[in-house]
Amino acid sequence: MPVTGDSTVAEVLDEYGKITRAHLKTWLPQGDPGDYLYGPMADYPQRGGRMFRPSLCIATGRMFGASIEQLVPAAVSIELLHNALLIHDDIEDESDERRGKPTLHKQIGTPLALNAGDSLAFLSLRPIIKASSSMGSASVVRILEEFDQMAQQTAEGQALDLGWRRDNQIDLREQDYLKMVLKKTCWLTTLFPVRLGALIGSGGRANLDSLFNFAFFLGAAFQIQDDVLNLVGNHERYGKELGGDLLEGKRTLMLVNLLELSSSEERTRIKTILDTPREARSEASVSWLQSSMIDKGCIDYAKELAHGLAGAASHEFEKVFNGLPESGDKAFLSKLPSWVIERS
Amino acid sequence: MPVTGDSTVAEVLDEYGKITRAHLKTWLPQGDPGDYLYGPMADYPQRGGRMFRPSLCIATGRMFGASIEQLVPAAVSIELLHNALLIHDDIEDESDERRGKPTLHKQIGTPLALNAGDSLAFLSLRPIIKASSSMGSASVVRILEEFDQMAQQTAEGQALDLGWRRDNQIDLREQDYLKMVLKKTCWLTTLFPVRLGALIGSGGRANLDSLFNFAFFLGAAFQIQDDVLNLVGNHERYGKELGGDLLEGKRTLMLVNLLELSSSEERTRIKTILDTPREARSEASVSWLQSSMIDKGCIDYAKELAHGLAGAASHEFEKVFNGLPESGDKAFLSKLPSWVIERS
C-alpha cells in the first residue's frame, strides 16, 4: 500500500515496518549454534515492536528524495541495534518482561543473553557495510561515523541512568533528566534515524545539525510518554510490567519532578524507599510513591511537558522542512509529534 | 628500539605494545560521565596485558611491507575490542579477578560494567573508521568486513562455551573443544590480527585464507597453554584466580580429555560436581577433579597437544611465509609458536 498524504501514522508504521522486518529477517543467521546464539538473537525482533525508528529513517530519507531500497540497509541496522540494546538494557535493569513475554535473560540466562546482545550489536553494522557495492565505500564510512557518534551518546546516557540509580542519586533536576534522555533515548530513537535518512536522501548535502531540535523534541516527548505509560498504561498493550520503572528506581520525569516538589522529610523517605533492594521494597511504599506523584501533579506535569515538547517538535518541523515538496512521507512526519503523545 | 632478527619475543611485544598503548590512550574519551563510563572503559586497558594481539598484527603487516603508522589503527582496534570482550566475559563467567585486580563488574556493578563494555566495543571501530582519510574508504570497508566475520565467529565460540556449561554438557570430544577454541579464541587472538596485518601490508593482494592453519595452530596452542596455566600456573604472574576454570566449570582441554578417559561412574561423579553451583562446590570435589586430571595424565596430554600444535604452526609458518624477505618481524613471528607454549 503506497504511502500518501491520507495515510495514518499507524498505516505508515505498518507499511515501513513490514518492509524492514522482511529485510531484517534475511540478515539473521541460521544454523548452529541455534539454541545458544541464533535462536536468542532472533527472539526480540520476532516479538514485533512498533518499528518507529526504521520508519522514521525511511520516511525522512524519502522526503529528501531517496528510494526505499536505498534506505532499507540503514533502517534494518537501526532496528537490529535497538533490539541488541534492549537485551542488554533488560539485563542491566533486571527487567522481567519485554513485549509481553519474559525478557531474554530470564529465559536463557544472563551469560547467553549478554553474548547474543553483543552478536546482534555487531550484526547491526553488517547491512551498512555490505551496502558498499550499491552506495559506495565513502557513503558507508560516512554512515558509520554517524553510527559511532550515536553509539557513544547512547552509552553516555545509559551510564547516567544506571549510575544515578546505583548511587541512589536524588539531587536531580529536570535539566539533568532531559540531558539523560537526549543521550539515552533521543540519539538512537530519533536523531540517528532522522540524520541517516537526511544523509542518504540528500546525498550528503543536507545540514544534519539543523534537524537537532525537531528530533530531540520528538524523542523527549516519546520518552516522557513512555515514562507515563509505564505507570498508568494498559499492561496488555504496553507489553512490560506496569510500574516497572518504580520497582527499578528509574529516574523518570515524574520521579525527578516529585523530588523537586518534595519537602526535605519527604525526600528522605523517597530516598530510603529507592535504596531498598527491589525484592525487599514493600508494595505499600511503592503505592505511596505512586500516589504522591498523583497528589503533587507529577503525572499531569509529565503529560503537559510531553505535550509542550510535541508542539515544539511540530513547530521545528514546519521551520526546517518548509522547503521540501509535499508528500505522504512529509505528512507522516508532520503527524508524528501528536502520535507520540497520544499512543497508548 | 628497532626490531631486528636478534630481538627476543618479549622485546618485540614490549616495543609494539608500547606503541599500541600510547595510541590507544588517545582514543579513550575523557570527561563526563567519568565515574560511570569513561573511567571504567579505561580500566582494563590501563591494567596492562601482554599486547600479544596488536603486536601480532603489526609484525605481520610489517613483514608484508606496511609501516607501523599504517598498522596502528588496526592494532588499537584489536586491543580495544579484546578489552571490551574481557569485561563481558568476566560478567558471563562471574570471574573475580582480571590482571591481578577485581574484575570490573565486581568493582562497579554489572549494569555499569556491561554498558562500559558495549561502549568500548563500539569504540574499537573508531580507529578504523577514522583511518579513511589515510587509507581510503574502500580499505576501511574491507577491514570492517573482516571485523564483522571475526565478531560473528567469536560470538559463536563464546555461545558454545557458555551453552555447554549452562547445560552441563559432558558429551564432548577433543574435536568439539578445538572447534570451540577456533571460534572463541583463535579468531580474535590470531586469525584476525594476522589477516588484518597481511591485508594492510599487501594492499589487499595477499591470500588471507592461506594463513588459516598458521593462525589456528598458534591460537589453539595459546589457548591450551592458558588452560594449563589456569590450573598449575603462578598466581602472581597469571593475574587470575588459579583453578578459576574448574570453579567456573569451563570445558577446558583437560576436562574434555578427563571425560573421554573416565568410566561411566566417574563421568557421573564429574557431572554432579560440575552441576553444583559454584559457591556450593566443595574444595574436596574440586581437588578430586584436579588430581584425577593429574592421575589420568590430562595435564601432560594438554601440554603435549599444545606442543604439537606449536610445531605445526612453525611448519605452516615456513611453508606460507617462505617467499617473504628476512626481517626482524619475520623472526619474531617465527619464534611465537615456541613462546606461546613456554610462557608462564
CA distances from A204 to A73, A96, A135, B136 (A): 16, 42, 12, 18
Q: Provide the pLDDT for residue B237.
A: 58
Q: Provide the pLDDT for residue A281.
A: 82
Q: Provide the pLDDT for residue B234.
A: 64
Q: Provide the pLDDT for residue B286.
A: 87
Q: Provide the pLDDT for residue B240.
A: 60
CB spacing of A129 vs B145 below 8 angstroms: yes
Q: Are strands A101-102 and A97-98 parallel, antiparallel or unpaired?
A: antiparallel
Strand, coil or helix: what is A216?
A: helix
Q: pLDDT of B93-145, one tens digit each?
A: 999 999 999 999 999 999 999 999 999 999 999 999 999 999 999 999 999 99
Tally of helices (H runs) and strands (E runs) in chain A = 19, 2
Determine the distance from the C-alpha atom of residue B215 to the mean position of all C-alpha atoms in its chain, rounded to a whole number. Answer: 12
Q: Provide the pLDDT for residue A249.
A: 87
Of B119, B136, B166, the CB nearest to A155: B119
Q: Which domain holds residue B98?
A: 9-342
Average pLDDT of the residues in B330-337: 98
- Kindly state the helix (H) or strand (E) to which residue A98 belongs, with its residue range: strand A97-98
Of A92, A115, A125, the CB nearest to B148: A125
- Evaluate whether residue A67 is within a structural domain: yes
CA distance A36 to chain B (A): 6
CB spacing of B129 vs A148 below 8 angstroms: yes
Q: How confident is the model at residue B249 (pLDDT cuts 50, 70, 90)?
A: confident
Residue of chain B nearest A124, judged by CA positions = B148
Residue B294 has pLDDT above 60, yes or no: yes
Residues A251/A185, Cβ–Cβ less than 8 Å: no
Q: pLDDT of B186-229, one tens digit each?
A: 999 999 999 999 999 999 999 999 999 999 999 999 999 999 99
Q: Which of residues 227-246 of B touch A (CB under 8 A)?
A: none
Of A91, A122, A155, the CB nearest to B148: A122
- Evaluate whether residue B167 is within a structural domain: yes
Q: Which of residues 76-105 of A touch B (CB under 8 A)?
A: 85, 88, 91-93
- Evaluate whether residue A14 is within a structural domain: yes
Strand, coil or helix: what is B28?
A: coil
Q: Which of residues 110-129 of B touch A (CB under 8 A)?
A: 110-112, 114-116, 118-119, 121-123, 125-126, 129
Write out the three cell numbers for B283: 574444595
Average pLDDT of the residues in B245-271: 93
Strand, coil or helix: what is B107?
A: helix
Of B36, B85, B156, the CB nearest to A33: B156
Low-confidence residues in chain A, pLDDT < 70: 233-242
Question: Which residues in chain A touch residue B159, judged by CB atoms under 8 angstroms apart?
Answer: 33, 36-37, 112, 115-116, 119
What is the average pLDDT value for chain B, to the nearest integer? 94
Measured CA to CA, the distance from residue A127 to residue A28 in angstroms comes to 11
Measured CA to CA, the distance from residue A312 to residue B343 in angstroms comes to 63
As for how many domains chain A has, the answer is: 1
Residues A291/A202, Cβ–Cβ less than 8 Å: no
- Evaluate whether residue A24 is within a structural domain: yes
- Evaluate whether residue A2 is within a structural domain: no
Question: Which residues in chain B touch residue A37, judged by CB atoms under 8 angstroms apart?
Answer: 155-156, 159, 163
Residue of A94, A110, A156, A183 to mutate, interface with B, max B Cβ within 10 Å? A156
DSSP assignment of B224-258: HHHHHHHHHS-HHHH-S-TTHHHHHT---HHHHHH
Q: Provide the pLDDT for residue A283.
A: 84
Residue of chain A nearest B119, judged by CA positions = A155
Other C-beta atoms closer than 10 Å to the C-beta of A72 total 22
ipTM reported for the complex surpasses 0.90: yes
CATH code assigned at B160? 1.10.600.10
CB spacing of B152 vs A111 below 8 angstroms: no
Q: How confident is the model at residue B60 (pLDDT cuts 50, 70, 90)?
A: very high
What proportions of chain A, in percent to the nearest 5, are helix, strand and coil? 75, 0, 20
Write out the three cell numbers for B23: 595510541
Q: Residue B281: exposed, middle, or buried by beta-carbon count in 10 A (0-12, 13-18, 19+)? A: middle
Residues A37/A119, Cβ–Cβ less than 8 Å: yes
pTM: 0.96
Give the distance between the most distant pair of CA atoms in chain A: 63
Measured CA to CA, the distance from residue A126 to residue A210 in angstroms comes to 28
Of B119, B144, B152, the CB nearest to A129: B144
Angle between helices A52-63 and A9-27 (to 10 degrees): 100
- Evaluate whether residue B2 is within a structural domain: no
CA distances from A143 to A66, A133, A192, A196, B153 (A): 15, 14, 10, 7, 24
Residue of chain A nearest B150, judged by CA positions = A122
Which residues are CB-neighbours of B322 under 8 A, at least 6 positions away? none
Of A85, A112, A159, the CB nearest to B36: A159
- Evaluate whether residue A1 is within a structural domain: no
Measured CA to CA, the distance from residue B52 to residue B215 in angstroms comes to 13
DSSP assignment of A147-212: HHHHHHHHHHHHHHHHHHHHTT-----HHHHHHHHIIIIIIIIIIHHHHHHHHHHTTT-S-GGGGH
Residue of B35, B114, B149 to mutate, interface with A, max A Cβ within 10 Å? B114
Question: Which residues in chain A touch residue B91, judged by CB atoms under 8 angstroms apart?
Answer: 110-111, 114
Of A37, A130, A141, the CB nearest to B155: A37
- Evaluate whether residue B263 is within a structural domain: yes
Residue of B82, B112, B118 to mutate, interface with A, max A Cβ within 10 Å? B118
Q: Provide the pLDDT for residue B184.
A: 97
Q: Which of residues 140-199 of A touch B (CB under 8 A)?
A: 140-141, 144-145, 147-148, 151-152, 155-156, 158-160, 162-163, 165-166
